[in-house]
Amino acid sequence: MLPSNSFDSEFSVSWTHRLRFTDSSFNDGTLDTLISTLSPLKILPVIDCGVTTNTAFMDDVTNWLANSVFETSKPRIVEGGEVSKNSMRVVDQVLEDINTNNLCRKSCVLVIGGGAVLDAVGYAASIAHRGIPIIRMPSTTLAQCDSGLGVKNAVNYFGKKNFVGVFDPPFGVVNDIRLLSSLDNRHWCSGLSEAVKVALIKDETFFEEIEQQSAQLLNRDLTAMGNAIQKSAILHLEHITNGGDPFERLNARPLDFGHWSAHKLEQITNNSLTHGEAVSIGLVIDIKCSVALGLLDNAIADRIVNVLQSLNLPTSHPALSDPALLQGIEEFRQHLGGELTLLMLKGIADPVDVHALDFKLVKQVFNELL
Amino acid sequence: MLPSNSFDSEFSVSWTHRLRFTDSSFNDGTLDTLISTLSPLKILPVIDCGVTTNTAFMDDVTNWLANSVFETSKPRIVEGGEVSKNSMRVVDQVLEDINTNNLCRKSCVLVIGGGAVLDAVGYAASIAHRGIPIIRMPSTTLAQCDSGLGVKNAVNYFGKKNFVGVFDPPFGVVNDIRLLSSLDNRHWCSGLSEAVKVALIKDETFFEEIEQQSAQLLNRDLTAMGNAIQKSAILHLEHITNGGDPFERLNARPLDFGHWSAHKLEQITNNSLTHGEAVSIGLVIDIKCSVALGLLDNAIADRIVNVLQSLNLPTSHPALSDPALLQGIEEFRQHLGGELTLLMLKGIADPVDVHALDFKLVKQVFNELL
């Protein structure tokens, strides 16, 4: 019992996370219907400069803005890629636009871009007036499969990844497959490692589909890609909204499977690897660790490696010889803020948590892969 | 029914808001017990420079830090008052300390200070690593009665009040009555206008208690003040946690009773009025408007004005002749982001929402009060 001068009061706050799939967001009513649900007073469009090279898509944006029944501001074009969240530049640009255009909490930011731009713009929208609703249109395979669904909004600070940020779910996410058409082959495919990841921890049938469809996926078949993205995005969404820990208060982070080494590999290679590529290598490392720990059959590990290779994803890297890579384990433990919790596999869609990983075993896995 | 490419997923996040009352937080176990509930890896103390003049209290802080079983960092002393949230200086200082001392989401910030310092430091803690838990020790009557309980954390930006911020409930709030002993008479009393406000909208018995105890409150009677603060804080806490709208998504803001003019009066007078004083005048304005609207009996209005005056609180101001003051209504509507919703009184603890306020009627009230 609490003493008489103590008062504990519980309360909760609810959100709806809205996910849409389309190949024609501006013309088939997908976006208009979603925006009408929100009924914003004003809309500020923010567009990743990488998207502006997709002329067919940009024509749609321009037409939509010219004819929209909603009150829209002049679109802000921002720099793309990790650089957009390495400083406060993009955040400040969006805050300036929110201020200049008098957006309020009943307004809306509509952001079209890759994961880093979604992060930086989402952060700006989350802190302006304690949260302006945002609709995200992820423009990369990676962001449509995974990061665009997240409830995190963050930028890098003190040279540290996502040091400054908030949890704030988007009002909605529109995955328009046509945004991917302007991606080069490398970025078209590399985000699929996150689809493989979520299939490996949650859905064996989905893993088999990726395995069977790998040639079509590699050959830019829109139907195959649309299916893979839809399944990956929904599995990520379900984990966030039904997994019991949307704001990451617990120690386990199943969606970070393969990520302790992936984050470190990106850093060691000065981001010459895409996040998707680093995750592919990271998955192989943790799968091989699962084998070395006696948890997983080696034949299954080889099957997974084959699927990643069939998607043109890297499964090894010279940086595996860098002693700094092992520090990724300790940094991941620090990131969790307590006990180390790493997900390993006993089989496909059969994960298990481990709380220690012997350095000698990991080094052996690195040597095997080099 | 949603079309097949639409997925809506609801989820919620829970918080516990912990409120403690004491006259000896560092010695009677109040703070240690609260911190033990959190069990943080590290604690960063941040102290309002205004508190450092309270030497008896600071001795307790120093002793506690020297003997604490918890891992504590060197306390950061920050500037106090509104200036602490007028720039990013305090926010950046706290972010620097969080980074330098390697605080993580399993750590804790312990902030001791007035409402503005709680806001700026709370904002820094909320954005670092997407939220480091914070324990607040409000050091003013105003912050102990009202603002220290809030789930808002914000700083001023583009010269606009609270333009940048987030909703993020504190881990706990410790109201130590001893912190008030170093306040001058003006600040000792002026925060009580928020206690009168919450009594007027929610609790007639509490209003009568303030009325009966006004002489003791004015004469710095600690028991009377402790009672008033406890009742006011609990009413505010209950509104936030049981009022159904902790993150202010709806249009009504009952706790902003009297605040449309109070905010504007602070601005017009260049903050020569304390927030509590401005709220006192703002309450009188809305009470007299309630009378002018035919909602409230004039005898009750006079009784309320008498209570405010018995607490040495101002009930009029030359700035009521400033035409800019009326703009406060439109700014409040914009702040709500849609329909104007103002709380008026039909009686004590008998509020009613109105959605328009005739300028002529308000001007008449101003003239009456001048």
A 10 A CB-CB count for B272 gives: 12
Residues of B in contact with A1 (CB under 8 A): none
- What are the CB-based long-range contacts (under 8 Å, 24+) for B352-359? B352/B295, B353/B252, B354/B293, B357/B289, B357/B329, B359/B326, B359/B329
Integer Cα distance of A16 and B18 in angstroms: 27
Tell me, rounded to whole angstroms, the distance of Cα B183 from its chain centroid.
Answer: 17
Integer Cα distance of B60 and B54 in angstroms: 10
Residues of A in contact with B9 (CB under 8 A): 16-17, 19, 237-238, 241-242
In eight-state DSSP terms, residue A70 is S
For chain B, helix (H) and strand (E) counts, in that order, are 15, 10
How many Å lie between the alpha carbon of B211 and the closest alpha carbon of chain A? 24
Answer yes or no: do A337 and B41 touch at CB < 8 A. yes
Tell me, rounded to whole angstroms, the distance of Cα A50 from its chain centroid.
Answer: 17
A21 part of contact set with chain B, CB < 8 Å: yes
Q: Please, are residues A203 and A297 in contact by the beta-carbon 8 Å criterion? A: no
Q: So what's the architecture of A193-369 in CATH?
A: Up-down Bundle (1.20)
A163 part of contact set with chain B, CB < 8 Å: yes
Which secondary structure element, helix H or strand E, spans residue A131, and what is its range? Answer: none
Residues of B in contact with A168 (CB under 8 A): 166
Residue B93 has pLDDT above 90, yes or no: yes
Q: Which amino acid is at B119?
A: D
A12 part of contact set with chain B, CB < 8 Å: yes
Q: Which of residues 214-273 of A touch B (CB under 8 A)?
A: 230, 234, 237-238, 240-242, 246-248
Look over chain B and give the mean of its residue pLDDT values, rounded to a whole number.
95
**CATH 3.40.50.2300 assigned to A18-182:** no
Tell me, rounded to whole angstroms, the distance of Cα B232 from its chain centroid.
Answer: 11
Residues of B in contact with A105 (CB under 8 A): 248, 337
**Region label for A238, one of left (φ > 0), alpha (ψ between -120 and 50) or beta (otherwise):** alpha
Q: Please, are residues A67 and A133 in contact by the beta-carbon 8 Å criterion? A: no
How many Å lie between the alpha carbon of B215 and the closest alpha carbon of chain A? 25
Residue with tokens 């010269």: B159
Q: What percent of chain B has pLDDT over 90?
A: 92
Q: Which of B130, B151, B156, B332 has the highest number of chain A CBs within 10 A, making it the mutation to test binding with A?
A: B130
A39 part of contact set with chain B, CB < 8 Å: no
CB neighbours of B342 closer than 8 A, spacing ≥ 6?
A: B260, B286, B329, B332, B353, B354, B355, B357
- Pick the closest to residue A125 from A68, A180, A56, A78 (CA basis): A78
**Candidates 1.10.3720.10, 3.40.50.970, 1.20.1090.10, 3.30.750.24; CATH matching B185-242+250-369:** 1.20.1090.10
A 10 A CB-CB count for B318 gives: 9
Answer yes or no: do A127 and B164 touch at CB < 8 A. yes
Q: What's the rounded mean pLDDT across residues B320-341?
A: 87
pLDDT, residue A87, reads 96
Confidence class for position B168, pLDDT limits 50, 70, 90: very high
Beta strands in B207-362 (DSSP E): 342-347, 350-354
In eight-state DSSP terms, residue B72 is B
Task: Kindly give the residue spans of alpha helices, DSSP state H, lying in A293-326.
Answer: 298-310
Residue B20 has pLDDT above 60, yes or no: yes
Q: What's the rounded mean pLDDT across residues B177-204?
A: 96
In eight-state DSSP terms, residue A182 is G
Confidence class for position B2, pLDDT limits 50, 70, 90: low
Integer Cα distance of A116 and A191 in angstroms: 13
pLDDT below 50 — which residues of chain A? 1
pLDDT, residue B3, reads 67
Integer Cα distance of A47 and A58 in angstroms: 10
Answer yes or no: do B127 and A127 touch at CB < 8 A. yes
Q: What's the rounded mean pLDDT across residues B174-191?
A: 95
Integer Cα distance of B82 and B328 in angstroms: 20
Residue B336 has pLDDT above 90, yes or no: no
Residues of A in contact with B6 (CB under 8 A): 18-21
pLDDT, residue B200, reads 98
How many Å lie between the alpha carbon of A256 and the closest alpha carbon of chain B? 16
pLDDT, residue B82, reads 92
Residue A161 exposed, middle or buried by CB count within 10 Å (0-12, 13-18, 19+): middle
Beta bridge partners of A354: A342
pLDDT, tens digit, 9 for 90 and up, residues B246-289 = 998 888 889 999 999 999 999 999 989 999 999 999 999 999 99
Token pair in block for residue A325: 């890579």
Edge-first strand listing for the sheet containing A6-22: A76-78, A43-48, A108-113, A134-138, A172-176, A6-22, B6-22, B172-176, B134-138, B108-113, B43-48, B76-78
Q: Which amino acid is at B312?
A: N
Among candidates A106, A162, A237 on the partner chain, residue whose Cβ is nearest the Cβ of B7: A237
Q: Which of A37, A43, A130, A171 has the highest number of chain B CBs within 10 A, making it the mutation to test binding with B?
A: A130
A15 part of contact set with chain B, CB < 8 Å: yes
A vs B: CB pairs below 8 A: 166
pLDDT, residue A2, reads 60
Integer Cα distance of A345 and A354 in angstroms: 10
CB neighbours of A183 closer than 8 A, spacing ≥ 6?
A: A140, A141
Q: How far is CA B224 from CA B21, B192, B230, in A?
A: 14, 12, 10
The residue of chain A nearest to residue B339, with distances taken between CA atoms, is A106
- Give me the residue spans of the domains in chain B: 18-182, 185-242+250-369
